[in-house]
Amino acid sequence: MRFWAALLTAMLMLSIGSLWVYSSYEDRVGSVGPVFLSPVEHQGNVTSISMVTAHTPTSSLVEASCNGNGIVEVYDIITGAQVDRHAVYGHAKYQFVLPREGDYLIINNGTDKLTCSFRFIKNYPTKEVQNAVYVSGSAFALLLALVVWRWVR
């Protein structure tokens, strides 16, 4: 019985501890900009790109505010995958999610100039961490139910 009590206590502490860790930095906001993004220019075999990099320690909700005319594209530097794409005509304010921790590249793939600011509104645990917390919490609940069921009998 002591083994089950120790196991359940450890799993409960793991679940509560992981939730506490994420709540401690969930509302920490940061920002990038304002930055000036020139459009991508192609002249023969030469491409000129004005870019900005942003780093996030975890998955983040980002609010973008842009002025000018262009197309703002965000790419994951590690995978090269496009994360977000928004056309801006005049002024645009929108939100998008950076899906994991890491560095992101922000470019203007339009034909005119843009000025943008990016504000990190909320930080979230990555999907892998959320899955681990859900699995450990579910295992804790099942083991607790099993121990209570055995104890009542």
pLDDT in the model for residue 78: 86
∠ Cα 25 66 64 (to 5°): 20
pLDDT tens for each residue of 12-49: 776 666 666 655 555 566 767 788 878 777 677 665 66
3-state SS class at 21 = helix
Q: How far is residue 40's CA from residue 71's CA, in Å, rounded to a whole number?
A: 10
- What is d(CA 109, CA 101) in angstroms, rounded to the nearest whole number? 24
Residue with the two structure tokens 């990190």: 120
Q: How many residues does the chain have?
A: 153
Q: What are φ and ψ of residue 138, in 5° steps?
A: -65, -40
pLDDT at 15: 67
- Is the pTM of the predicted complex or chain greater than 0.85? no
Q: What's the pLDDT at 49?
A: 65
63 forms beta bridges with 95, 119
Token readout for 137 is 């919490």
What domains can be seen in the chain, in order of their start residue?
Answer: 26-124 (2.60.120)
Q: For 60-104, how does the pLDDT look when each residue is reduced to its tens digit (9 = 90+)?
A: 888 889 898 888 888 988 888 899 899 989 898 999 888 888 888
What is the SS3 assignment for 50? coil
